[in-house]
Amino acid sequence: MRARQLRWTLALLLFLLIAQIGLQRAVAARELPWQNKGSPFGVVAALGNRVRADEIPAAVALLREAGVQWQREEIFWDRVQQQPGGPYDWDGDERGFYNYDLAIAAQARAGIRLLGLLDYNPAWFKGKNPHPDEWIADWGDFVYNAVARYGRERGQIKHWELWNEPNLAASGYESGLYTVADFVRILEVGRAAALAADPEAKIVLGGLASIWSEPPSPYHYDYFDYLDQVGRLGGWNHVDIIAIHPYRPDTPEGDVWRRDQSLTFHQEMERLDDLLRIYGPKPIWLTELGWSTYQGVYGVEADTQAHFLVRAYLLAIAHPSIEKVFWYSFRDDTAPEAPYERPVYDDREVEFHYGLLRRSYPLDPGRGDLRKPAFLAYRTMTEMLGGLTLRSVERNGADGVYWYRFEGLGRRVDVLWRTGAATPAIEVVCGCREALVRAWNGEVQHVLVSEGGRLLLRPVAMGAPLYIEYDPPARNGQVFAATGRSLDGVFRRFWETRGGLARFGYPLTEEVREPEVGSGRPRTVQYFERARFEHYPELSGTPYEVQLSRLGETALQQTGIDWRALPFQSEAPPECRLFAETGRSLCPPFLEAWERAGGLDLVGLPLSEPFEVAESGVRYTVQYFERARIEHHPAQAGTPAEIQFGLLGRERLVRWGAMP
């Protein structure tokens, strides 16, 4: 045991000397550096502990779909080693759990970076309340073996969080850390062991939790007080990164009373910055943060959870000291004793409802009710902002408006939301041709055509973030000068072979990913002047790989007409065709145009009879179908423009100069 401690101590002394020199220089400067925000998007999924081995591939596929950059993988000491000095078991039990080899390798192959969390006292001392001196050397061995295996040997994990929430009674005092000094000892020995195993290892201080209501005690510390004592005892020297869990009982922007003072998130982080100035600047990682959708005092609605997620990430990214944010958690939890195949659903249990995914068995990415709105919000956030850099905060709560500007990779994206009662019009000098406006869940809302490089933006829905992308870059393929948009791949082949410009018009957007109605599954779509294409790769090789959205039905509804309430036809003239499904007839010249354009597959059932409309003094006849509006213009008789397909895509999306 003494030989092990000597080895760790010698390794530690060298690193402490280097750290102390850097600390003195940084404190002297009294300035906190802007941290690296290059990959801020993390989640807590703990696949090895929470997902059975046979479902890990599905979980990794969902992590990738969401655009997760970092995942916190928790390794329980009492699960991998049962006896002091005994062997380590990294590949799970007979039930398929705690297979850390499988979980870690699968995520590493998928390009997901991992934060390894090592925690809690050993199996052989559970329930015996020993002093840490009785197992501290074994703790060092555990850390050494974990870091050597997944760090030095396999290169899968380079960042290691030591312990979890030691400032709370359950995971601190009741888990064998009776004083703050005991936790500092955990850091000291753990760091020495980790660096001896892998000199490239970075040590993250075990995440400290917020306490909002309970009074602090020797067993239950507010993290400010706990961190201060860690600093006084020299613990700052044993970590590279400070981790906290700043859960809040209110909105992300809220000003909430915390025993002796009220604190906004920004004020809370400024108070944390004061400790960084005293003990030395280090990056801050929020290794847990979230809101639960349970039906209790602090529970939130599913859409509200989604809105809070985006807003919390942006507030954190905008704070100089914060580097990464890990949403807790990726999947709704269940009772520990419940069979995996029969998870417990309890709407009143707060711990069961923090996830981005609903609890289900099996874990099927194709399941329609799996993704909560927060999953769609996370997926959209990473798609819109991944790889971009925060350039400025134009508004940070003034008049209840928040406005953040990002740039990078040839793109410019603003994120905008409001918490105030008013709906202000915000003038943007964008110098752009147009802007694509998307909702928090990825749905395309508008294409705004600027007037003299200026736009007016209006965050209409309270609390719901909007993404505004200015002049989205064209992708590969044919670029149309009329709209600056491109067309490629299966959509281009479909466009060229099924009617081209006359039938579909110019593309109004690039290919975008939107949530499928009902399930939230990602669906690649592209908007055109007269249509919206949807891609179904699961139907590749069939005529239905590309399908048209039901824009005709949507447009008819927007005129205030419910086609189901219109009189149904029971017969039609001989030159016409009657559709019993909708009670509508289809007669010349609409019938011929319908047939030429693809009939049922590409135009759909008729939803109305023909009726006359007037526009700018010109009268013409229209008939609505599920996927189109066909127009007969008598003034254009004898020309190709006599029969036209309505500009449903343009009418739905394009606005001039301002959001409505």
Q: What is the DSSP string of 566-586?
A: SPPPS---TTSEEETTTTEEE
**Same domain (yes/no): 272, 134:** yes
Q: Measuring CA to CA, which residue among 224, 226, 178, 187 is closest to residue 205?
A: 187
CA angle 102, 103, 109 (to 5 degrees): 85
**Same domain (yes/no): 177, 319:** yes
SS3 282: coil
The pLDDT of residue 261 is 83
In a domain, residue 30? The reply is: no
**Same domain (yes/no): 14, 154:** yes
**Same domain (yes/no): 575, 617:** yes
Domain boundary among 470, 501, 534: 470
Tens of pLDDT along 41-81? 999 999 999 999 999 999 999 999 999 999 999 999 999 99
In a domain, residue 116? The reply is: yes
Token pair for 624: 């609505």
**Same domain (yes/no): 244, 367:** yes
**Same domain (yes/no): 543, 570:** no
**Same domain (yes/no): 489, 507:** yes
**Same domain (yes/no): 198, 80:** yes
Number of structural domains the chain divides into? 4
The pLDDT of residue 214 is 74
In a domain, residue 33? The reply is: no
CATH number of residue 107's parent domain: 3.20.20.80
Q: Measuring CA to CA, which residue among 356, 417, 415, 355 is closest to residue 383?
A: 415
The pLDDT of residue 7 is 53
In a domain, residue 331? The reply is: yes
Range of the domain at 419: 398-470
Q: Is the omega angle on the peptide bond into residue 610 within 30 degrees of 0, that is, cis? A: no
Domain boundary among 360, 386, 412: 386
Neighbours of 111 (CB within 10 A): 10
**Same domain (yes/no): 183, 284:** yes
Calpha distance 614→621 (Å, rounded):
9
Specify the DSSP class assigned to residue 322. Answer: E
pLDDT under 50: residue ranges of the chain: 1-3, 6, 12-19, 21-29
Its sign, for the CA torsion 215, 216, 220, 221, is positive
**Same domain (yes/no): 109, 43:** yes
The pLDDT of residue 23 is 44
**Same domain (yes/no): 271, 415:** no
Contact 633, 620 (CB under 8 A): yes
**Same domain (yes/no): 366, 404:** no
Calpha distance 236→240 (Å, rounded):
8
- The strand pairing partners of 72, in sequence order, are 44, 115
In a domain, residue 606? The reply is: yes
CA separation (Å) from 448 to 122, 325, 332, 508, 660?
60, 32, 38, 11, 10
